[in-house]
Amino acid sequence: MIDDDLVFKALADPTRRFLLDLLFMVDGRTLTGLESELAMTRFGVMKHLRVLEEAGLVITRRQGREKLHFLNPVPIRQIHDRWIDKYTEHRTAALLDLKRELEEGP
Amino acid sequence: MIDDDLVFKALADPTRRFLLDLLFMVDGRTLTGLESELAMTRFGVMKHLRVLEEAGLVITRRQGREKLHFLNPVPIRQIHDRWIDKYTEHRTAALLDLKRELEEGP
DNA sequence: AAGTTACGTGACCCATTGGTCACATGTCAA
DNA sequence: TTGACATGTGACCAATGGGTCACGTAACTT
């Protein structure tokens, strides 16, 4: 009941979700590299990355004077498993596939 | 980029997550019924349910003077699909199964 | 050694949010 | 129709959180 709070709080901000999107596309990026994609100061980005790291959504590795950031998908999967049991999983996924199909057209 | 923000903001609060847990166990509950399980005023619970409803995580149906609340798992599944692609899904799920097994013991 | 690059810390300001209360509306039962 | 029950609204207060800045440390380069 404690550490999952960090995960949800971390995901609550759109900037942090965008950072996860960036890492989802290209993993192992550096702070200044990520900063260049955002309309924000380096300090703001650093704060957000720190929140993501403390939540376990981002894993870091130091390399010289650089700090590399990697996306960790495990907490995301845990969110899924909390409110979707194995029986309704197929149903929900099928519903979403149908929804996407209808929105995208033929 | 707009309505998914409501979902994540809604999930950011522990009380609201607990409300989802309650609905995950017993669906279709009423406001006063949910209030009795929380150490909070009815107004606080009402506010939280409103946030969940606007996010689409809870679907409601009026029945006389009562308002029934149901859990909607679709947005949860969408979160999952955003950062876990189909290729790493099995790997992540297997990793979590292993983690649970180790924590629960033999 | 000196300059440059990359990351880090603490304090500060403004906006948002969780929670409560006084008050109000609608609905069922006798 | 009177009273009890279930839900709603608006204002209000304290606390949290996003963003910036001045300043500081560590590492690569020449």
Q: How far is the CA of B63 from the C1' of C17 (A)?
A: 31
What average pLDDT score do residues A86-91 get? 76
* Whole-number pLDDT of residue B98: 81
Query: How many residue contacts between A and B have a Cβ separation below 8 Å?
Result: 75
24-83 in chain B: CB under 8 A from chain A? 24, 71, 73-74, 76-83
CA atoms within 13 A on the CB side of B5: 7
C1' of nucleotide C27: residue with nearest CA: B65
Question: Taking CB atoms and an 8 Å limit, are A1 and B24 in contact across chains?
Answer: no
- Asked if B78 contacts A96 with a C-beta cutoff of 8 angstroms, the reply is yes
* Whole-number pLDDT of residue B59: 96
ipTM, 2 dp: 0.88
CA atoms within 13 A on the CB side of B25: 6
pLDDT tens-digit series, residues A14-52: 999 999 999 999 999 999 999 999 999 999 999 999 999
pLDDT tens-digit series, residues A62-85: 999 999 999 999 999 999 999 998
Per DSSP, the residues of B36-65 read TTSSS-HHHHHHHHHHHHHTTSEEEEEETT
Per-residue pLDDT at B10 exceeds 80: yes
Assigned CATH for A1-72: 1.10.10.10
Report, in this order, helix, strand and coil percent for chain A, each rounded to 5: 65, 10, 25
Task: Give the range among A44-58, A78-92, B48-62 with minimum mean pLDDT.
Answer: A78-92
* Domain residue ranges in chain B: 1-72, 73-106
* Whole-number pLDDT of residue B73: 92
B66 CB less than 7 Å from any atom of strand D: yes
pLDDT tens-digit series, residues B58-92: 999 999 999 999 999 999 999 999 999 877 777 77
Q: How far apart are the first and last CA of chain A?
A: 44
Structure tokens belonging to residue A16: 């942090």
Per-residue pLDDT at B14 exceeds 90: yes
* Whole-number pLDDT of residue B89: 76
* Whole-number pLDDT of residue A88: 77
Structure tokens belonging to residue A94: 């099928």
Nucleotides on chain D within 7 angstroms of protein Cβ = 5-10, 17-22, 26-28
Q: In which residue are the tokens 């650093």 written?
A: A46
Residue-averaged pLDDT of chain B: 90
Confidence class for position B104, pLDDT limits 50, 70, 90: low
- Provide the percentage of residues in chain A whose pLDDT is more than 70: 95
Residue B80, Cα to own-chain centre: how many angstroms? Answer: 13
Per-residue pLDDT at B105 exceeds 70: no
Kindly calculate the radius of gyration of chain B based on its CA atoms and give it in whole angstroms.
17
